[in-house]
């Protein structure tokens, strides 16, 4: 049985207006193509959850997809703030958004509770913080054993989590290497998981190198082969981070008309990621190629 489908069908079948959506990946393997498809399909009223909402959420907010953002840090890494995020939060443009903020560890604890089917997760990280006063999903809990206390966070259980990896077989057994973040627990906490990869490979390749297996097919509902689906983020062993795109976005996003023009050119007027890649051009892709290929399977021996 195969879980392979197109990005358009995965988003159409798997994501609905009003869903809580988690696009996973900590600087690495961010699923930009999935976010662009959600924009293209006109999804709205989404609760966009992500430890570090960066360009993709700025673009989705600018397109009117979001009514809420649940996060622990927001910014354009190495560049500055997110102009569309700020406009929505401060001015209600293009729509008002609700903010639910955590610390990084608080966000991870909430995901871990969701992944573990627990009613809450305890942590000390909010002691001395004013975040519990502004977030109803953070509560002080007295110790049942002594006079100490901690804080508890309610579980985060997304309706949909999108995970990007380097490769997977058609059943959704996925290899990921390089920087890993919250991908696994964000997937395990979710009702629906869309896995998007640079390339499909054989089951034998996955089995040959079990140390790289992040998700198994039992956890995955849709598998999408979408080369360069993380651009302008990077995919270790496939292409590097397009730093210029991050810098350019700061200027583009500072003006509403420029943002709308960018969305028209790079999202609405392209059918899918293949057309997006063709628009980028071969010279741009060659500049992002890694010097060495570290994606080859490792021979673990017979078993």
| Strand 192-200 versus strand 222-225 pairing type | parallel
Domain residue limits, the chain: 3-101+159-288, 104-153
pLDDT of residue 303: 44
Beta bridge partners of 76: 80
Burial of 249 from C-beta contacts in 10 A (0-12 / 13-18 / 19+): buried
Reduced to 3 states (helix: H, G, I; strand: E, B; else coil), residue 144 is coil
pLDDT of residue 1: 72
Intervals of the chain under pLDDT 50: 303
Q: Residue holding tokens 């259980």?
A: 157
pLDDT of residue 142: 96
Measure the CA angle with vertex 281, ends 175 and 162; round to 5°.
30
Considering only CA atoms, give the Rg of the chain.
20
pLDDT of residue 301: 52
pLDDT of residue 290: 84
From residue 288, give the alpha-carbon distance in Å to each of 25, 56, 100, 261: 19, 19, 35, 25
Pick one of 3.40.1080.10, 3.40.50.720, 1.10.3720.10, 3.90.1150.10 as the CATH number of 3-101+159-288.
Answer: 3.40.1080.10
pLDDT of residue 300: 52
Reported as a single tens digit per residue, the pLDDT across 177-222 is: 999 989 999 999 999 999 999 999 999 999 999 999 999 999 999 9
pLDDT of residue 69: 98
Give the strands of the sheet with 121-123, arranged side by side. 121-123, 149-153, 138-142
pLDDT of residue 296: 59
């Amino acid at each position: 049985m195969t879980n392979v489908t197109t990005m358009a069908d995965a988003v159409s079948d798997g994501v609905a207006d009003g869903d809580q959506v988690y696009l996973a990946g900590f600087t690495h393997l961010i699923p930009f193509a999935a976010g662009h498809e959600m924009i293209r399909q006109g999804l709205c009223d989404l609760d966009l959850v992500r430890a570090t909402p960066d360009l993709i959420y700025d673009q989705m907010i600018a397109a009117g997809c979001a009514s809420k953002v649940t996060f622990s840090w927001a910014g354009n890494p190495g560049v500055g703030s997110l102009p569309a995020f700020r406009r929505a939060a401060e001015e209600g443009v293009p729509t008002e958004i609700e903010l639910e903020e955590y610390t990084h560890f608080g966000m991870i604890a909430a995901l871990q509770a969701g992944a573990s089917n627990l009613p809450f997760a305890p942590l000390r990280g909010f002691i001395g913080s004013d975040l519990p006063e502004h977030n109803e999903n953070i509560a002080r809990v007295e110790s049942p054993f002594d006079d100490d206390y901690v804080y508890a966070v309610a579980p985060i259980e997304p309706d949909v989590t999108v995970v990007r990896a380097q490769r997977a077989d058609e059943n959704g057994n996925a290899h990921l290497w390089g920087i890993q973040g919250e991908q696994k627990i964000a997937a395990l906490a979710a009702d629906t998981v869309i896995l998007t990869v640079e390339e499909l490979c054989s089951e034998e390749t996955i089995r040959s190198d079990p140390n790289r297996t992040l998700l198994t097919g039992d956890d995955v509902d849709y598998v999408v082969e979408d080369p360069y689906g993380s651009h302008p983020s990077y995919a270790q062993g496939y292409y590097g981070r397009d730093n210029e795109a991050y810098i350019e976005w700061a200027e583009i996003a500072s003006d509403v008309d420029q943002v709308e023009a960018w969305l028209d050119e790079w999202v609405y007027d392209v059918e899918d990621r293949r057309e997006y890649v063709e628009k980028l051009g071969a010279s741009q892709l060659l500049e992002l190629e890694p010097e060495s290929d570290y994606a080859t399977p490792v021979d673990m021996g017979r078993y």
